[in-house]
Structure 1
Amino acid sequence: MATTSGNDAALNKEYDNASATHDHANNGINGGNTTAAHRGYDYGGNPLAHMNTGESARLPAFGGEFQPGLYRPTDHRKFANPAPLGLSAFALTTFVLSLINVGTRNLTEPNIVVALAFGYGGLVQLLAGMWEMAVGNTFGATALSSYGGFWLSFAIVLTPGGFAIEDAYSATGAGVNDFANAFGFFLIGWFIFTFILLLCTLRSTVAFFLLFFFLDLAFLFLAIGYLQAVDGAANAKLEMAGGYFGLFAAFMAWYNALAGIADSSNSFFVIPVAHFPWSAKKREERAAKTERETV
């Protein structure tokens, strides 16, 4: 019995030492005292580009996880990261519509976008938003699910011969710009919603912020273009401006998606995400630098 008690004491002591070492490692990540073993944590600012250690650690804001604030590591999570899927669905649908809005190859009819808006930008992005809900990301769930709903509703409006929403305005015999004005109201609402999300990215990363910044400008210019319609057609210059900002937003969505996919397990490089100087990540770096200089 005495021998058993001694073994138990030795095991407990070993466990305590391991826990202390683990806690010290986490403090090195979060408190600024970065050790040599965890210097790979930076990797250009991509927190997913290393093997996370410690369930209690908090990682900085990251567009690849669609997280504008601190979030928990992904080691023991039962779900994969759904953000790149939702971002990719948004990016491709926005890309094709924006090419049409800027008049590429003289295309003017957005009918091809209906298929993308139903299948990829709508359904797939909505599913990604629901999976974000499952992993506990409120921002990601709200944003991806909402924009999935946007593409579904956009497809409903544009479905040729289906819901006949545009034709219903013409059938009333009222003003020729009625549908354009109504669609402008629709876009203004999405501009307001996107601006709310934009405010939540101000403490995150430049790549994450620019996605919502360009998207918000796209909604704004398109909305004003439709509200300034002449003979039922949106203002061409404003529509083109909205298309260009839509292209910028699409590429930023792809950039954030790539940042969430590429890490040290599958890529020879990782994607820099450029944290804002006032973000938690940059404050930690400044605190660590000051402490090293003081020592």
Structure 2
Amino acid sequence: MAQFSLNKEGATTDVVSAAINPAPLGLSAFALTTFVLSSANANLFAGASVVIGLALFYGGLCQLLAGMWEFKMGNTFGATAFSSYGGFWLAVGVSLQFKLIPNDTAFGFFLLGWTIFTGLMFIGTLRSNYALMGVFFFLFLTFLALMIGALGGGSTFTVIGGWLGIITALVAWYTALAGLLTTVKAPFLLPIGQRP
């Protein structure tokens, strides 16, 4: 964490600028919001509108902030991922709140765009670590299944997408915890499968 001290004029100045990692926040916001909506898609409960608040504030705003902090740190991949998926959740939250989705086909094309984007992001992870690769791999499969369901494949694909989304959320939470544990005096660390 950054430490502050007062300069001779009485203003605060940043005297130690340690690397602060916004990824655990972004991954946690993504994971929880994904988990809730995916649980509804998997038919574990009815009433997906419960995700609206999460989509707007945790999945949306917190991820967007994490993305901006990643930009400040010079991490283009993290900034692109968190900012984009923060925007995704903001769009989902607003669309659900104001009933802006005219039909399944329109939503299917929305999901098609996110499937393509997530495929590109997965390619970007191929030289990172296995945990991050897992997040984007399962997210790609989630979007793919949901897109097929929305474009006429039937509700079975939506349920499959829900279960894949739950797996995605669990992998994202694991990855978030692995990053978080490196910032505290944890009794153990979680392996993320560093690539050579």
TM-score if structure 2 supplies the norm length? 0.88
Match of 2:35 in 1: 95
Q: What are the ranges of 5 or more consecutive residues in structure 1 without an aligned counterpart?
A: 1-75, 170-178, 230-234, 283-295
2:156 paired residue among 230, 237, 240? 237
- Report runs of 4+ in structure 1 exceeding 2 Å deviation: 76-79
Matches of 1:153 and 1:264, distance apart in 2: 32
Distance 1:138 1:257 in 2: 18
Alpha-carbon RMSD across the aligned residues, in angstroms, is 1.5
Count residues with an aligned counterpart.
Answer: 181
Post-superposition offset of 1:202: 1.1
Residue 126 of structure 2 is aligned to residue 202 of structure 1: yes
Instruction: Give the drift of 1:273.
Output: 1.0
Equivalent position of 1:192 in the other structure? 116
Unaligned runs of 5+ in 2: 1-15
Match of 2:177 among 243, 255, 258: 258
- Confirm or deny that 1:221 pairs with 2:140: no
Larger Rg: 1
Letter in 1 for 2:48: P
Counterpart of 1:272 (choices 185, 191, 195) is 191
Question: Once the two structures are aligned, what percentage of the paired residues are identical?
Answer: 51
| Secondary structure of the corresponding residue to residue 269 of structure 1 | coil
Matches within 5 A, 1:3-42: none
| Per-residue deviation, 1:265 | 4.1
Secondary structure of 1:165 counterpart: coil
Measured in 1, the distance between the counterparts of 2:104 and 2:182 equals 45
Question: What's the TM-score, normalizing by structure 1?
Answer: 0.59
CA distance in 2, matches of 1:133, 1:191: 23
Structure 1: distance between partners of 2:57 and 2:38? 18
1:78 deviation in Å?
4.8
Q: Hey, what's the Cα distance between the residues in 2 that align with 1:155 and 1:245?
A: 20
Corresponding residue SS for 2:30: helix
Secondary structure at the counterpart of residue 204 of structure 1: coil
Q: Which structure dedicates a bigger proportion of its chain to strand?
A: 2
Q: Give me the whole-angstrom Cα distance separating, in 2, the residues matched to 1:245 and 1:186.
A: 18
